[in-house]
Amino acid sequence: MRQDTPVIERTRGEGRSIEINKVLKNTYMLLGATIGFSALVAYFAAAMGLPHPGIIITLVGFYGLLFVIHKTQNSASSVFWVFALTGFMGYTLGPIVGMLSATAPQILVQALGGTGLIFFGLSAWVLTSKKDFSFLSGMIATGFWVLIIAMLASFFLNISGLSLAISAGFMIFSSMIILYQTSEIINGGERNYVMATVTLFVSLYNIFLSLINLLMAFSGDD
């Protein structure tokens, strides 16, 4: 019985490794597909000159679709709702993409390139080091509330430089989420590739917008 224990443990380890690789593969495949779909929606929204839906519709649409995804995360329909969410988020980017394409295309290119570099750099760090970033959970929770309070302050108070600080804060916050989420996948803490995809996509969305805000401010186009 004791002699069989190493074999059993090795078999379990191999099975766990296969499951982790499957979640990682499915996450990156779905993430790539949703990024492409979101970019396509943003392009058509910009080309057609569609207006931004406004902050109320944006928040209702985002959190409403996020709620549906959470409820359906273990069913096949969840993938449809992921595309609905990422497509909607792409639509909200349409007016920004259209404006930058006409007035400052270099900022758009720099923001896209910067977002890609940040994501691939952070992902490569986790995947190669296998480091456990679960310790970031507390900082992420704190950072969320700090950003919420900062955004409310920005809305009601005219504080110079606060919008730039918020953009920088979102970049740091989203980068920590990428580290945390990728670490959760490779260490077996995340088993649902749908929720992992949504988390990573939203992080990339926030980094992209934050880079645009910072680049526009520093270039004098804000």
Alpha carbons 222 and 220: distance in angstroms, whole number: 6
Residues in contact with 181: Cβ distance below 8 Å, sequence separation at least 6, in sequence order: 190, 196, 199, 200, 203
> Are 201 and 86 in contact, with CB atoms under 8 Å apart?
yes
Find tokens 């404006």 and name the residue: 99
Does residue 73 contact residue 192 with C-beta atoms inside 8 Å?
A: yes
**For the stretch 167-206, what's the b/e string if a residue is b when 16 or more beta carbons lie within 10 angstroms of its beta carbon?**
bebbbebbbbbbbbbbbbbbeeebeebbbbbbbbbbbbbb
* Domain positions in the chain: 4-219
Q: Tens-of-pLDDT digits for all 222 residues of the chain?
A: 455 566 555 555 555 688 888 999 999 999 999 999 999 999 999 999 999 998 899 999 999 999 999 999 999 999 999 999 999 999 999 999 999 999 999 999 999 999 999 999 999 999 999 999 999 999 999 999 999 999 888 878 777 788 899 999 999 999 999 999 999 999 877 889 999 999 999 999 999 999 999 999 888 654
Looking at residue 31, its pLDDT comes to 96
Which pTM was predicted?
Answer: 0.89
- In the block, which residue shows the tokens 């059993």? 8
- State the pLDDT at residue 117: 96
Q: Tokens in use for 118?
A: 């940040």
What's the pLDDT at 182? 95
